[in-house]
Amino acid sequence: MVEVVLEARGLRCGYDGREVVAGVDVALRRGEFLGLIGPNGSGKTTLLRALAGRLVATAGEVLLDGAAMRSLRRRDVARALAVVPQLSSPPFEFTVGEIVAMGRTPHLGRLQPEGPDDRAAIDLAMALTNVGPLAERPVTELSGGEFQRVVIARALAQEAPVMLLDEPAAHLDIGHQVEIFDLLLRLNREEQRSILCVSHDLNLAARYCDRLIAMTDGRVCAEGSPAEVLTEERVSQLYGCAVRIEPGPGGRPNVSPLSAALDAAPAGDAR
Ligand code: ADP
């Protein structure tokens, strides 16, 4: 039987009385790498925040390991679920080592110093993300790709079996995008993390994810394998842009946007 680790049922939520997520059912299965796609403003980040217990549902519910999110203590949620928010400016003054160590907060009592288990989790997180050599550097001096690895390391130090990531490769060049997704794949396959990842990059999502969920206007409009979800008709409709989809590396769908200016045959051109 497929085991579900995180689930939204009939979930509705939003901001200041404005509904953004308008009745969503989604399930993250244990051990899967699930991608969440959809155009800007479709509610992906808002759904992620609700799944992380950071935004209260106005209707429906979120279940973490079968327990209602609203009945769980923050600390218990943080031990089960780690969040990597969209890349933001690094907070000033902290070193890489200090940021990664913050991932241990849910495991420590008030004023309790780090113990050997905490140190081991921090060291492993830094090794997996290859940020050890940066440990003493202030995070303000890192490149975008380095900082993203540090934020993922902090989430790993949390030792939560579920990871939610919001566009972890946004703003990174293709080399660093692949580096981040390879890291996530390794965490998924070798470190048994269940991953839900918002991605604007359809080709990365298609390449790495086991399954995709597509959202539009606060609702799920499709879910299935990358090939099932990424059809030319659906992607064109969702993003308002003609696309060509062909098999890419690994046989996964590869999406190329078509330009109205460059690719369309001129109307009435009889030559
Ligand atoms: P996506 O991640 O798909 O781009 P979001 O969940 O960020 O979508 O946003 C969905 C809608 O919710 C947008 O209209 C956005 O303006 C609104 N929204 C997002 N965050 C907030 C917020 N903190 N306060 C008020 N409205 C918000």
Residue-wise pLDDT for 73-121, tens only, equals: 998 999 999 999 887 776 678 999 999 999 998 888 777 788 888 999 9
User: In this predicted structure, what is the pLDDT of residue 108?
Assistant: 84
Report yes or no: 125 and 81 within 8 Å, Cβ to Cβ: no
243 and 255 Cβ atoms separated by less than 8 Å: yes
Write down the pLDDT at residue 269.
54
Q: Which residues of the chain have pLDDT under 50?
A: 270-271
Distance 44 CA to ligand 1 centre (A): 8
CB-ligand 1 contact for 42 (6 Å cutoff): yes
Where exactly are the structural domains of the chain?
4-264
In angstroms, rounded to a whole number, what is the distance separating the alpha carbons of residues 266 and 268?
A: 6
The atom of ligand 1 lying closest to the CA of 38 is: 3
Q: Is the CB of 218 under 6 A from ligand 1?
A: no
Query: What tens digit of pLDDT does each residue of 208-233 get?
Result: 999 999 999 999 999 999 999 999 99
Ligand 1 close to Cβ of residue 44 (< 6 A): yes
Give residue 105's pLDDT.
Answer: 86
Residue located via tokens 């081991």: 120
Is the shortest distance between the CB of 247 and ligand 1 below 6 Å?
A: no
Considering the segment(s) 4-264 as one domain, its CATH architecture is 3-Layer(aba) Sandwich (3.40)
- Protein residue with its CA nearest to atom 13 in ligand 1: 41
Q: Is the CB of 17 under 6 A from ligand 1?
A: no
Q: Is 43 in the pocket of ligand 1 (CB under 6 A)?
A: yes
Indicate whether residue 10 lines ligand 1 (CB < 6 A). Answer: no
Phi, psi of 59 (to 5 degrees): -155, 160
The Cα 152–Cα 127 span in angstroms is 12
